[in-house]
Structure 1
Amino acid sequence: MKFIVNSAYLLKQLSNINGVITTNPVVPILENFLFELEKGGLTVTASDLQTSMITELQVESKEKGSIAVPARILLDTLKNLPEQPVTFSIDESTYSVEIISDNGRYKLSGENATDFPKVPSVSNDFTAEISTEVLARAVNNTIFATSNDELRPAMTGVYVNLGEKNTTFVATDGHRLVRYRRTDVKSENGNSIIIPRKALNLLKATLPSENTEVSLNFNMSNAYFKFGNIKMICRLIDERFPDYDNVIPTVNNIKMTIERSDLLGALKRISIYANKTTHQVRLKITGSELQISAEDLDFSNEANERLSCEHEGEDIEIGFNAKFLIEMLTNMDSDKIKLTMSAPNKAGVILPAEKDASEDILMLVMPVMLNQYV
Structure 2
Amino acid sequence: MKFVVSSSELLSHLQAISRAISTKSQLPVLDCFLIELSGNTLSMTASDLEVTMTTTLETDETVEEGRVAFPSKMLLEILKKLPEQPLTFVVDSNTLGVDIQSERGKYNFVGQPADDYPNLPQVEEDKASSMRVPASLLLTGITKTLFATADDELRPVMNGILFECSPENLTFVASDSHKLVRYQRLDAKTEFEASFILPKKPASLLKNVLPREDGDVQVEFDNKNAFFTLPNYRLVCRLVEGNYPTYNAVIPQDNPNRAVVDRVDLANTLGRVSIFSSQSSNLVKLHYSSDEVMVSAQDLDFSVSAFEKLRCQYDGDEMEIGFKSSFLADILENIDSSNIIIEMSDPSRAAIVLPFDKNDFEDELMLLMPMMINA
Both proteins in one fold, TM over 0.5: yes
Residues 139, 211 of structure 2: 8 Å contact kept: no
| Residue 214 (structure 1) aligned to one of 214, 217, 226 | 217
SS in 2 for 1:145: coil
SS in 2 for 1:20: coil
TM-score (norm 1): 0.97
For residues 91-146 of structure 1, give each alpha carbon's deviation from its aligned partner in whole angstroms, at most 9, with x where no partner exists.
12222111111221111111011111111122452111111221111111101010
SS in 2 for 1:103: coil
The match for 2:69 is 68
For residues 19-61 of structure 1, give each alpha carbon's deviation from its aligned partner in whole angstroms, at most 9, with x where no partner exists.
1112221222111000111112111100011111101111131
Distance between the aligned counterparts of 1:226 and 1:257, measured in 2?
A: 41
Aligned-pair CA distance for 1:311: 1.0
Q: State whether structure 2 residue 371 is matched by structure 1 residue 361.
A: no
Aligned-pair CA distance for 1:225: 0.9
The match for 1:91 is 92
Q: Gaps spanning 5+ residues in structure 2: where?
A: none
Q: 1:49 to 1:210 in 2, by over 3 A?
A: closer
The match for 1:331 is 334
Residues 291, 304 of structure 1: 8 Å contact kept: yes
SS in 2 for 1:3: strand
Listed as ranges, the matches of 1:80-159 within 5 Å are 80-123=81-124, 125-159=128-162
Aligned-pair CA distance for 1:150: 1.6
Distance between the aligned counterparts of 2:23 and 2:267, measured in 1?
A: 37
| Residue 294 (structure 1) aligned to one of 289, 293, 297 | 297
Percent identity over the alignment? 42
Aligned-pair CA distance for 1:76: 0.9
Aligned-pair CA distance for 1:222: 0.8
| Residue 237 (structure 2) aligned to one of 221, 227, 234 | 234
Distance between the aligned counterparts of 2:202 and 2:321, measured in 1?
A: 36
SS in 2 for 1:314: coil
Aligned-pair CA distance for 1:82: 2.1
Query: What is the Cα-based RMSD across aligned positions, in Å?
Result: 1.2
Q: Gaps spanning 5+ residues in structure 1: where?
A: none
Deviates more, 1:352-361 or 1:175-184: 352-361
SS in 2 for 1:150: coil
Distance between the aligned counterparts of 1:33 and 1:25, measured in 2?
A: 13
Listed as ranges, the matches of 1:1-374 within 5 Å are 1-60=1-60, 61-123=62-124, 125-209=128-212, 211-372=214-375
Residues 43, 55 of structure 1: 8 Å contact kept: yes
Aligned-pair CA distance for 1:65: 1.1
Distance between the aligned counterparts of 1:109 and 1:10, measured in 2?
A: 19
- Aligned residues, how many? 372
Distance between the aligned counterparts of 1:310 and 1:82, measured in 2?
A: 56
Aligned-pair CA distance for 1:68: 0.5
Distance between the aligned counterparts of 1:149 and 1:273, measured in 2?
A: 29
Aligned-pair CA distance for 1:228: 1.6
